[in-house]
Structure 1
Amino acid sequence: MGGVGQRIKELRKASQMTQQELAEGVVTRSYISQIEKGLIQPSYDTLDKLSKKLDCTVEDFFKEPENTALRVAEWKKYIRFAEGQAESGQYDQSRRTLDSCNLDAKGELELNDHDLGLLYWVRGKLAEVRFQHDEARALYEISLHHLASYMYVKERVRTMDSLAYVHLQENRNMEALRILNDANEILLQNQLGGLLKISVLVNSGVAHGKLGECHSAIRLLGEAARINQDLGSHYKAGHIASSLGICHMQLKQFPEAETQFQRALHFYDLEDNVPNRAAVLNNLGELYRQTERYDESISVLSESFDLFMDQGQTQHAITVRLELAKSFYLKQDSTRARVYCEQVLHDTDRPQHQGSAHKIIGLLDFRSGNYVQALKHFKQAQDLLMPYDVKESFAILSCIAEAHLALGDFETAAKSYQKVARNERPLTLV
C-alpha cells in the first residue's frame, strides 16, 4: 500500500495542496498522513473522493511512483547546460536545451532556490536578446528573489548586472545605477573580481555616461579595461571602447573618440558582431559630422544603414536614416536630406523618429525661405517630441521663435524666446 500512499503524496504536491486541504470534507489530516506513509489502506470510496479533489482517477493512484530524484537531477543538468550556453552567447542552443527538458510549473516546485535562480536568469537572458525588455526585467527580478541567500553571491550579482543592463536599454538610468552600485558593493565585500567585475564596471560606466557624467564614466570604463589587461582577456572590449568613444565625443575630445571607435570596430570585426559594428559606425558618422567631415560621415552612416537592414533591425536603420538626413542637411544637399526624412515619416509611427524628421524638414524649409511651412513642421516636431525629449523640444522652440521672427510676428517670437530663456535652453537652428 506504500506505493498508493506515495502516489497520493506526489499528486497532492503537484496540485500544491496541503494534507489538511486534501483531507477537508473527506477524512482527517492525520488519516491522510498515515495513507501517505503506507500505514493504512483507504477504502475505494475514500480513494474516489480523494481522486476528485486531486482531479485524477482512482487508477492514477495505482501507477508506479515516479523517480522524482532522477527527474530533478535531469532538470538540474539541463538548466546548467542552458546556463553555460547563454553565458557563451549560444542563445539558440540554450533555448533548445530548456525546451528539451520538459520542465513545467509543477516541476519547478521540485527545484531549490539556486536552480530556480539560474533557470530564471537564463529565461531572462533569452528574452533580453529578443529585445523583450519588459519580460526580461520580470524574469530577472524572479531570479533575484530565488538568489537572495548569501551563498549565491556570484549568481546574484550576475543577475543584478543583467537587470541593470535591461534598465539601461529602456533609459531607466538612475534605477540601473542604483542596482549597479549595490552589485559593486557586494563584489567589494566578497573580494570578487574577474569578468563579473568587468561587466558591472562597464554597465556602471554606461549609466554614468547616459546621465551626462562623462568623466566618471571614463574612469569606470578605464578600470574595466585595466582589469582586462591584467587578466590577458578581451572581455567586452568592443563595448568598453565604444562607450569610451561616446564619452569622449560628448566631451568634444574628438581624436580620442575616433581612436576608441576604431578600436571598437576592430574587436567587433574579430567577433563577427554585425549589429554592434553597425552601431559603432553610426556613432562614428555622428563624430565625423560634428567635425564637419560630411562625406566621411555619409559613407560610414550608409554602411551602418545597410548592416542594420541586412540584420532585419529596421528601427535602428530608421535612426541611421535620420543621421544621414542631418549630414546631408549640413552638406547643403537639401534634396537628399528631404528624401530621407520623408522616408522616415512613411516607414515609422514612432513619435521620436517622426518628430526628428519634421524638425529637419522644418530646417530645410527655413533655409529656403519658406517660413510658413517651416513653422508648421517645427510645431509638429515639438508636439511629437515633448513627451519623450524635453531638451530637444525646447531646442525646437528656439526654431519656432526664429520662424515667427522671420515672418515678422515679433510679439509671438518674443514670447517664444522668453520661454526658452526661462528654461535656459540654447538657441540653435542646427
Structure 2
Amino acid sequence: MTLPVELLIGLRYVRAKRRNHFIGFISIVSMLGIAIGVMALIVVLSVMNGFEEELRSRILGMASHATIAGEAGRLDNWQQVADGAREHPRVEAAAPYVSGEAMLRAGSRTSGTLIRGVLPEAEGDVSRITQYLRDARLADLQPGEYGLMLGAELARSMGLLPGDSVDLMVPQASVSPAGLMPRFRRFTVTGVFEVGMYEFDRGLVLLHMDDAQALLRMRGQVSGVRLKLHDLFEAPRVVREVAQGLPGVYRISDWTREHANFFRAIRTEKIVMFIILSLIVGVAAFNIVSTLVMVVQDKQPDIAILRTIGATPRSIMLVFLVQGTLIGVIGTLLGVGGGLALALNIDVVVPFIEAATGQQFLAPDVYYISDLPSKVEGDDVLKIGGLAFTLALVSGLYPAWRASRTMPAEALRHE
C-alpha cells in the first residue's frame, strides 16, 4: 500500500536533522508541553473522580438512596409502603426509620444531635452501618433495653465509651406535678461507629425503632421508609414511580436532592480544573505555531522546488499539517500513557513522595480521607486526548497555509 506523498515528505521533515537546531528544540518542548498538560489533566480529574466516589460512598453508606415519608412527618402504614416499594423491580431493599432531634447529656457535657430509630434486622439492607461499627453489632440494639450507638466524634466530645450511661432529651414536654418538664430517658451506650464524615460522626445517634417511637410518642408510627436501589442514579425516577403506585399522599426525597449542593460543587470544581489545566495544553499546542513558522522559513528552498516540479498549494499545506499533527499526536500519546500510569498507581506514587519529602499530603488527624483516591474515567481520557489533538491540528493550520502561499521565484531569489 503506497502512502500519500504529502505524508511521506511530512514524516521525512520530522525525522530529518535541521540546519537550525533551535527549531528542533522548540519542537521537543512543544511535544513535552502537550504531554505534561495531558498527563496533569488525566491525573487531576482522576483524583477528583476518586474523591467524589469516596465521598458519595460514605454519604450513601448512612443516608438512603431515597425516602418515602408521611405528609405530616408521620407514617402509619409503613408496612404497606415498604412492601409496595419492594415490588418495584429497581428497588433492592426497604426499611422503616424514625427520626427526630434530641440533646445528649453526660455529666456536665451536653450536645445536640439527630436520632434515628432503626430496625436492626432491616437497617443493614439499606445502609453500610455494619461496616462502620467498632466492636459492636446492630443486634446489640434490643427493644426496651434503651441502648444507643453514636458517632466517634460525638462520643469523643462527650467522653463516652460503650457501657456508659447518657441522658437523651427530646424537645417535647411531659406534664408533671412540677409543671411541664422536657421528656428524657437514660440510655446505655452499646456501640460507636465511625463513618469518616463529620456530619454523621458528630451529629447522629442510632436507637432501636421501638425505643425511638416510645421516646417520641410515635407508637405504631414511623417517620418514613428508606429505600436502597439497584442503580442509585435512577433514584429520582424510581422513588416517584413507587410513590405514585401507593395509595395516599407522601413526601418523597432522594440523595440527589438532599446533597445536591455538595455534588454540584464537586462537579463545578471539576469543570473549572479542566478549563484551567487545558490552558497548559493550549500553550504547548500553540508553540507548534512558532515551530512550524520557523520550519516553513527554513524549508523555503524545498517548498520552491516542490512547487516547480508540480506540487499544488494543497499538497504543500498537507506536508506541514502532517508535521504539526504528528507533534500533537506524539505529545498526546505520551501524556495519556504517563497520565494513566500515574493515575492508576497513585496509591504507590504518593506514599513514595511522602517518604522522600517527609511530608504527608493528607494527615489522618486533619482529613477523614488519608489516602489519595483515584478513579480513571474513559470519557475523561477521550475528551482530554481529543482536546489536545484538536488544538495541535488547529495550531498547524496557519503555518501550513503560509507555506502553501510561498512563491517559488521569491523563495529562490537569494539562493
TM-score (norm 2): 0.25
Structure with greater helix percent: 1
TM-score (norm 1): 0.24
1 or 2 for the larger relative contact order (CA 8 Å, sep ≥6)?
A: 2
Greater C-alpha Rg:
2
Structure with greater strand percent: 2
